């Protein structure tokens, strides 16, 4: 029962480094289950979503030793899936990755149905249809996914029913554990999928097409290798700080931004009037991901004529998790912005919550909103919605609005952001975390 007390309207200054990715971290934690050797994950984000998965892994017998931000993971031969911590498992959608991760270890197992953000209907059919191609039988029960996996086999070609990030990761984890080649078509090429591929390559799995929508995997029946891997940075957290700099008209140096996954977002913002400069470029510690440091400047923004929408499998678009940050940005832009969140049925509904802060947001349908800029914004007391990014954009808006705001039930934010109030305070924000 924690809440944030915010005195908004202050210009920020200084520098902040983007942390490692939540979505990559949870995928790599699940990927460690395929390894019979010792896995060392470096620079693991200290967030609630990771904590829940660690509780689950420990409950089934996985040995985990923490040293600072690094985790040393050793998986036993006999995983006690019957001892799984159901409470922790049901708090994270990432638990669904256990289906693919355990495919090469257990012939029969049951995984609790997943939780995470409440964003409307989120079908798991893309997972099931693809995994069944590899020989798995999965039944969806009232509270569980019941899995039978007598024998895994490679598949010449799997067409993803939907190019989802987690679904692609699940198929990768299963295909990794079977000898032979498997081709995945309409695979996600998103940042967390690429990080997973880089990790699996270190385990000796051969993967072609990383960064494209067709992946070819040559798996191994048993993987036993001691490896160390450093998780890459989070483009969604970078976008959080871009939006914060824009709405507070602040000059901030945002370091370690994974530029390949932010280029279109920055182009859209540039056309809106956002002023920034890339001051340095280098590789992440995984030696794969391109990072840049970006200096932001106070900017006057105008709404785009075109709608802002996320990517589809066949067209370019911004990252689906970066889309919500355009809502508080559009609130500070001259004109009217159409934002189309076609993926989730309920997320656009949460955007209208910002009207309690004086925003002018009109819900057109469950997927689309009009945001009219420069409303008379006011501080307020609000509850976080049960979804990470909609909760984060309320915080961004509150930091821009002069006066005292209170944001309650911040667990949604803590799922994906580490020590956020402390990092914001270092930039000059007047923000306090109050524990009841």
Q: Any residues with CB less than 8 A from the CB of 138 and at least 6 apart, and which?
A: 99, 127, 128, 131, 132, 145, 146, 147, 148
Shared domain check, 15 and 47 = no
The predicted-structure confidence for 177-230, as pLDDT tens digits, reads as follows 999 999 999 999 999 999 999 999 999 999 999 999 999 999 998 999 999 999
The answer to whether the CB of 158 falls within 8 A of the CB of 185 is yes
Co-location of 352 and 410 in the same domain: yes
Q: What is the pLDDT of residues 244-299, one digit of tens each?
A: 999 999 999 999 999 999 999 999 999 999 999 999 999 999 999 999 999 999 99
Tokens of 155: 């598949």
335-389: pLDDT as tens digits: 999 999 988 878 899 999 999 999 999 999 999 999 999 889 999 999 999 899 9
Instruction: Check residue 314 and give its pLDDT.
Output: 55
The count of domains in the chain is 2
Degrees to nearest 5, angle at CA 356 with 350 and 359:
85
CA–CA separation, 28 vs 44, rounded Å?
A: 10
- Domain end (from 199, 230, 261): 230
Do 185 and 266 belong together in one domain? no
Q: Are residues 241 and 386 in the same domain?
A: yes
Same-domain check for residues 63 and 192? yes
Residues 307 and 411 in one domain: yes
**Confidence (pLDDT) at 114:** 74
Residue 93 is predicted with a pLDDT of 85
pLDDT at 121 over 70: no
Residues 106, 126, single domain; the answer is: yes
Q: How confident is the model at residue 123 (pLDDT cuts 50, 70, 90)?
A: low
For 27-36, what is the mean pLDDT?
98
- Does 49 lie in the same domain as 38? yes
Task: Please say if the pLDDT value at position 119 is more than 50.
Answer: no
Domain containing residue 360: 2-19+233-435
Same domain membership, residue 239 and residue 146: no
Q: Which tens digit of pLDDT belongs to each residue from 389-413?
A: 999 999 999 999 999 999 999 999 9
Do residues 315 and 411 share a domain?
Answer: yes
Contact 124, 156 (CB under 8 A): no
Query: In this structure, are 176 and 245 located in the same domain?
Result: no
Both 225 and 254 in a single domain? no
Of the three residues 187, 213, 230, the one that is the final residue of a domain is 230
Chain position carrying tokens 């001051």: 279
- Mean of the per-residue pLDDT values for the chain? 94
CATH number of the domain at 108, please. Answer: 3.65.10.10
**In this prediction, what percent of the chain has a pLDDT beyond 90?**
86
- Whole-angstrom Cα distance, residue 430 to residue 399? 8
- Which of 230, 264, 283 terminates a domain? The answer is 230
Closest CA to 228 of 71, 101, 34: 71
- Judged against a pLDDT cut of 70, whether residue 316 lies above it is answered with no
């Amino acid at each position: 029962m924690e809440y944030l007390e915010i005195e908004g309207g202050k210009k920020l200054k200084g520098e902040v480094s983007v942390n490692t990715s939540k979505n990559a971290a949870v995928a790599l934690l699940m990927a460690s289950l395929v390894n019979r050797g010792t896995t060392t994950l470096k620079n693991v984000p200290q967030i609630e979503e990771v904590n829940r998965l660690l509780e689950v892994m420990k409950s089934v017998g996985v040995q985990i030793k923490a040293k600072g931000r690094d985790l040393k993971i050793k998986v036993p031969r006999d995983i006690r899936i019957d001892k799984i911590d159901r409470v922790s498992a049901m708090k994270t959608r990432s638990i669904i990755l256990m289906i693919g991760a355990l495919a090469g270890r257990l012939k029969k197992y049951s995984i609790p149905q997943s939780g995470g953000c409440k964003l409307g209907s989120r079908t798991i059919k893309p997972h099931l249809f693809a995994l069944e191609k590899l020989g798995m039988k999965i039944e969806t029960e009232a509270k569980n996914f019941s899995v039978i996996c007598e024998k895994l086999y490679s598949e010449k070609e799997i067409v993803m029913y939907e190019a989802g990030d987690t679904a692609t990761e699940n198929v990768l984890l299963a295909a990794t554990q079977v000898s032979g080649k498997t081709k995945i078509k309409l695979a996600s090429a998103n940042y967390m999928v690429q990080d997973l591929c880089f990790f699996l390559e270190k385990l000796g799995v051969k993967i072609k097409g990383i960064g494209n929508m067709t992946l070819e995997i040559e798996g191994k029946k048993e993987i036993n290798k001691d490896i160390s891997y450093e998780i890459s940075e989070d483009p969604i957290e970078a976008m959080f700080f871009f939006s914060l700099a824009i709405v507070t008209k602040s000059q901030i140096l945002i370091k370690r931004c994974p530029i390949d996954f932010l280029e279109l977002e920055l182009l859209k913002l540039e056309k809106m009037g956002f002023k920034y400069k890339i001051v340095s470029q280098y590789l992440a510690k995984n030696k794969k991901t391109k990072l840049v440091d970006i200096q932001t400047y106070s900017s006057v923004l105008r709404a785009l004529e075109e709608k802002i929408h996320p990517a589809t499998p066949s067209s370019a678009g911004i990252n689906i998790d970066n889309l919500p940050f355009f809502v508080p940005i559009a609130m500070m832009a001259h004109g009217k912005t159409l934002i189309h969140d076609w993926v989730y049925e309920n997320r656009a509904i949460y955007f209208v919550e910002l009207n309690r802060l004086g925003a002018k947001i009109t819900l057109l349908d469950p997927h689309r909103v009009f945001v009219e800029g420069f409303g008379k914004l006011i501080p307020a007391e609000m509850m976080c919605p049960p979804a990470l990014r909609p909760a984060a954009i309320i915080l961004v808006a509150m930091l821009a609005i002069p006066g005292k705001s209170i944001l309650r039930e911040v667990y949604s934010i803590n799922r994906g952001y580490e020590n956020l109030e402390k990092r914001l305070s270092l930039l000059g924000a007047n923000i306090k975390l109050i524990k009841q």
